[in-house]
A = this chain, B = another copy of it.
């Protein structure tokens, strides 16, 4: 479980060797790839792969796999949908889901799929807009320019177009990403969670694995399956050991360009604190689920997400307490600072950037607790509260000109905000009471019982009583009530006597003030300093480097290959036979009955999961694994335990991507799930 870093790699800052790198599609490392794997994609390959890639707006990746809008992603990327269309009578997480006709395909309430169409460089406009500004003025100007560029890009096609200004290289470069937007997304197929997430949390981020972590969605337009021109044919055989493979997906976030001050803050403060909070929440959810089957279903997805975060963040923390990593990062920073110090002009403009960040981090130490509680809503861990805070803030923001709004309420982002607030997904009052009572208790703990806001919110009551009163009194569980408040704007909000709306109206000004202060004294300082450091890094290393991940489309290259763990070889492939060998009689190691029923028909030698040297991170879930021919040979669903330190650096000797073999997808659909029609659609047959 210990991460071992190859120092040599780390000491050559950003000069990635071998498979390292999450590359943008407009800056492929062609020469390096030719050297490393003897091949590099041409413009057509890149364009086709880019257009075949899907972005699940809630935080995953996917790919188009048929001309009729079929989208392949992970089961865990569609789990919220699978739960939302379930009920206490039909639990599709347990039973799996298969639409046998278009009519049976069920709409996912809160799902949006995007397809990247175009990348343009807007660095000059962005840097120009903020030139010479600081603090609040900097933030305002940056938000306004972002909103302007996005709105111009979207034009009048907000229903079908989404545009994001993407910060790359920690602000060294700003690109405008234009997406086609699909808001009618329907569930086609999902296996049982017990095989999608076979091994559960214990095996999460581990390998060997035996997971059919797949789901199939279909995007619709005008009530019909969308017609898709660029999609990936699914290989019936999967890849070979040693074969070069490529991922195309949306790595969420890495911190490889962070300064030492930020890394130390992560190591000593942010990561331990969030892990301690999440762990308590995990215990709470575990015991809530133990009450009964219904409670278990209600809290299932939340617990999955919490456990997944704990494991990922634990891996990051463990990487940061390895002296070898911190020492290498320090050497990297020293080298860049030395370079800057040696060029008088750079020294004048950028020499103070590192200290400015360190100082901003200290300032943030003093303000981040109330900021987290009120602006990030840690205090109000409830769907109702989330609806109320969004409705209140959206009403205020929508009344402003686009360029003056908080960025998440700019025109380009509003459709997603609205979809979230109006989602028909069920809310479970008893579960919400537990979540909210707990988070209010934590608020009191973190801010102290005598904090004026805490006293104002709790009064003379216990947090659990306050939670119960709010939830018993609210009507926000009804999407129609939320729609009326959304449509009615600030007037409707102010007239509402819903207790959550009143709470949100009370907290919103506090939260806004905290955020404004944070943006002025911390965020803008760090952004500005980062832009300077990024420019210095370009000057020192050139532009053939890749930027930190920002949930924007990237590709990686690598080869199918195992690794050595504690001196022993871990082979790159598992097969169906192994799944049966590893099964026990109890969750999370229990295979579905359907698998035993089909066992005789199955080719047990079918490769099931495999690992490759690709450089990915959370957010890449659901990414297609593509071969040189542009065929989908695998479905990325995880990294191994060593990949978690990938937030800060990449070590090809042990860092591995974990994928479902495309052969397993088709074999299971054909022989276990009776889903040959869809499997054939994926093979390229006309639907």
Contact = CB atoms under 8 A, between A and B. Distances in A.
A27 to B, nearest CB: 37
Interface string A242-280: 000000000000000000000000011100100111011
A317 B272 CA distance: 10
B460 A585 contact: yes
Nearest to A200: B449
A206 interface: yes
B269 A279 contact: no
A41 B584 CA distance: 69
Interface of A: 199, 201-203, 206, 267-269, 272, 275-277, 279-288, 290-291, 310, 314, 317, 321, 434, 438, 444-445, 448-449, 459-462, 465, 584-587, 589
A217 B285 CA distance: 40
Contacts of A277: 279
A275 B587 CA distance: 27
A25 to B, nearest CB: 38
Nearest to A588: B462
A586 B321 contact: no
Contact of A276 (B279, B444, B465): B279
B279 A445 contact: no
Nearest to A311: B445
11 contacts: A206-B448, A276-B276, A276-B279, A280-B280, A283-B284, A283-B285, A284-B284, A287-B287, A290-B434, A449-B589, A461-B586
A201 B445 CA distance: 8
A621 B206 CA distance: 45
Contacts of A275: 272, 276
A282 B285 CA distance: 11
Given A203-B449, A280-B286, A283-B286, 7 more contacts: A199-B449, A201-B445, A268-B321, A277-B279, A283-B285, A283-B438, A449-B589
A258 B432 CA distance: 46
Q: How many copies of this chain sit in the oligomeric assembly? A: 2
Contact of A279 (B283, B288, B314, B448): B283
Contacts of A438: 283, 286
Contacts of A199: 449
Nearest to A366: B2
A-B CB proximity, top 8 nearest:
A283-B283, A462-B586, A287-B287, A283-B284, A268-B321, A460-B584, A280-B283, A279-B279
Nearest to A281: B283
A513 to B, nearest CB: 19
A377 to B, nearest CB: 19
Contacts of A287: 283-284, 286-288, 434
Given A287-B288, A448-B206, A461 B585 contact: yes
B460 A202 contact: no
Contacts of A310: 276
Contacts of A462: 586-587
Contacts of A448: 202, 206
B282 A460 contact: no
A275 B310 CA distance: 13
A319 B284 CA distance: 28
Nearest to A463: B586
Contact of A269 (B206, B321, B444): B321
B449 A202 contact: yes
A538 to B, nearest CB: 32
A526 to B, nearest CB: 20
Nearest to A271: B272
A449 B314 CA distance: 18
A285 B449 CA distance: 22
